[in-house]
Protein backbone atom coordinates (compact mmCIF):
# COMPACT_ATOMS: atom_id res chain seq x y z
CA UNK A 1 0.00 0.00 0.00
CA UNK A 2 2.78 2.41 0.91
CA UNK A 3 4.58 1.63 -2.37
CA UNK A 4 1.45 2.41 -4.43
CA UNK A 5 1.12 5.82 -2.80
CA UNK A 6 4.76 6.55 -3.45
CA UNK A 7 4.45 5.73 -7.17
CA UNK A 8 1.25 7.75 -7.46
CA UNK A 9 2.84 10.69 -5.64
CA UNK A 10 5.89 10.57 -7.92
CA UNK A 11 3.74 10.45 -11.06
CA UNK A 12 1.61 13.34 -9.81
CA UNK A 13 4.73 15.38 -9.02
CA UNK A 14 6.17 14.74 -12.49
CA UNK A 15 2.87 15.64 -14.13
CA UNK A 16 2.66 18.89 -12.17
CA UNK A 17 6.24 19.88 -13.01
CA UNK A 18 5.64 19.26 -16.71
CA UNK A 19 8.08 16.36 -17.10
CA UNK A 20 5.17 14.11 -18.08
CA UNK A 21 2.33 15.46 -20.12
CA UNK A 22 -1.09 13.94 -20.44
CA UNK A 23 -2.64 14.80 -23.77
CA UNK A 24 -5.72 12.89 -24.85
CA UNK A 25 -6.32 12.42 -28.58
CA UNK A 26 -8.27 15.41 -29.82
CA UNK A 27 -11.66 15.10 -31.43
CA UNK A 28 -10.31 16.87 -34.52
CA UNK A 29 -7.63 14.21 -35.06
CA UNK A 30 -10.23 11.48 -34.68
CA UNK A 31 -12.50 13.25 -37.19
CA UNK A 32 -9.64 13.56 -39.70
CA UNK A 33 -8.70 9.90 -39.32
CA UNK A 34 -12.36 8.88 -39.64
CA UNK A 35 -12.65 10.82 -42.91
CA UNK A 36 -9.54 9.19 -44.36
CA UNK A 37 -10.52 5.70 -43.19
CA UNK A 38 -13.97 6.14 -44.75
CA UNK A 39 -12.38 6.94 -48.13
CA UNK A 40 -13.92 10.43 -48.22
CA UNK A 41 -12.66 13.86 -49.17
CA UNK A 42 -13.41 16.26 -46.32
CA UNK A 43 -13.26 20.04 -45.98
CA UNK A 44 -13.51 21.71 -42.56
CA UNK A 45 -14.53 25.31 -42.04
CA UNK A 46 -11.59 26.11 -39.75
CA UNK A 47 -7.98 25.06 -39.50
CA UNK A 48 -7.09 21.98 -37.43
CA UNK A 49 -10.20 20.09 -38.58
CA UNK A 50 -12.71 22.13 -36.61
CA UNK A 51 -16.01 23.78 -37.42
CA UNK A 52 -18.52 22.62 -40.01
CA UNK A 53 -17.43 19.77 -42.26
CA UNK A 54 -18.30 18.90 -45.85
CA UNK A 55 -17.58 15.33 -46.99
CA UNK A 56 -17.69 13.70 -50.41
CA UNK A 57 -17.88 9.94 -49.97
CA UNK A 58 -17.51 6.89 -52.15
CA UNK A 59 -20.44 7.76 -54.40
CA UNK A 60 -18.68 10.96 -55.52
CA UNK A 61 -17.38 10.34 -59.03
CA UNK A 62 -14.25 12.48 -58.87
CA UNK A 63 -15.66 15.32 -60.96
CA UNK A 64 -15.54 18.91 -59.77
CA UNK A 65 -17.46 19.39 -56.51
CA UNK A 66 -18.22 22.69 -54.85
CA UNK A 67 -17.87 22.43 -51.10
CA UNK A 68 -20.88 23.57 -49.07
CA UNK A 69 -18.33 24.63 -46.43
CA UNK A 70 -15.52 26.95 -47.46
CA UNK A 71 -12.67 25.39 -45.59
CA UNK A 72 -9.28 25.92 -44.09
CA UNK A 73 -8.34 22.27 -43.45
CA UNK A 74 -8.79 19.20 -45.65
CA UNK A 75 -8.31 15.43 -45.67
CA UNK A 76 -8.11 13.08 -48.64
CA UNK A 77 -9.17 9.48 -48.06
CA UNK A 78 -9.20 8.66 -51.77
CA UNK A 79 -6.49 6.43 -53.30
CA UNK A 80 -5.55 9.28 -55.66
CA UNK A 81 -4.45 12.92 -55.58
CA UNK A 82 -7.15 15.56 -55.07
CA UNK A 83 -6.77 19.16 -56.30
CA UNK A 84 -8.36 21.82 -54.07
CA UNK A 85 -9.33 25.22 -55.53
CA UNK A 86 -9.85 28.74 -54.20
CA UNK A 87 -13.03 29.34 -56.25
CA UNK A 88 -16.21 27.46 -57.11
CA UNK A 89 -16.21 25.40 -60.30
CA UNK A 90 -12.65 24.15 -59.78
CA UNK A 91 -11.05 27.43 -60.78
CA UNK A 92 -8.62 29.89 -59.27
CA UNK A 93 -5.54 29.04 -57.25
CA UNK A 94 -5.04 25.41 -56.28
CA UNK A 95 -2.97 22.95 -54.28
CA UNK A 96 -2.81 19.14 -54.33
CA UNK A 97 -3.17 16.62 -51.52
CA UNK A 98 -1.85 13.12 -52.20
CA UNK A 99 -3.82 9.96 -51.50
CA UNK A 100 -4.58 9.39 -47.80
CA UNK A 101 -2.98 12.68 -46.80
CA UNK A 102 -4.25 15.89 -45.20
CA UNK A 103 -3.54 19.54 -44.41
CA UNK A 104 -4.47 21.13 -41.10
CA UNK A 105 -4.15 24.65 -42.54
CA UNK A 106 -4.72 25.42 -46.21
CA UNK A 107 -3.15 28.42 -48.02
CA UNK A 108 -6.64 29.81 -48.83
CA UNK A 109 -10.29 29.03 -48.24
CA UNK A 110 -11.11 25.92 -50.26
CA UNK A 111 -14.24 26.32 -52.39
CA UNK A 112 -14.08 23.26 -54.67
CA UNK A 113 -12.08 20.13 -55.50
CA UNK A 114 -11.71 17.32 -58.00
CA UNK A 115 -9.84 14.10 -58.63
CA UNK A 116 -6.49 14.86 -60.23
CA UNK A 117 -5.04 11.42 -60.89
CA UNK A 118 -5.63 7.77 -60.08
* pLDDT computed for residue 110 by the predictor: 97
Residue 40, pLDDT > 90, answer yes
List, in order of start, the domains of the chain with CATH numbers: 25-115 (2.60.20.10)
Residue 101, pLDDT > 60, answer yes
pTM score, whole prediction: 0.76
Task: Transcribe the chain into DSSP letters.
Answer: -HHHHHHHHHHHHHHHHTSS---PPPHHHHHHHHHHHTT-EEEEEETTTEEEEEEE-TT--SS-EEEEEEESEEEE-SSS-EEEEEETTTEEEEEEE-TTEEESS-SS-EEEEEE---
* pLDDT computed for residue 60 by the predictor: 87
Task: Name the residue with higher pLDDT: 40 or 14.
Answer: 40
Q: How many C-beta neighbours within 10 Å does residue 69 have?
A: 18
Mean pLDDT for 24-36 is 78
Amino acid sequence: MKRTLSVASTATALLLTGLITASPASASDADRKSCINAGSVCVWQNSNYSGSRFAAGGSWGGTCANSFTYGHSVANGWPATIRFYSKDGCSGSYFDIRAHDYSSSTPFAVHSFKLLSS
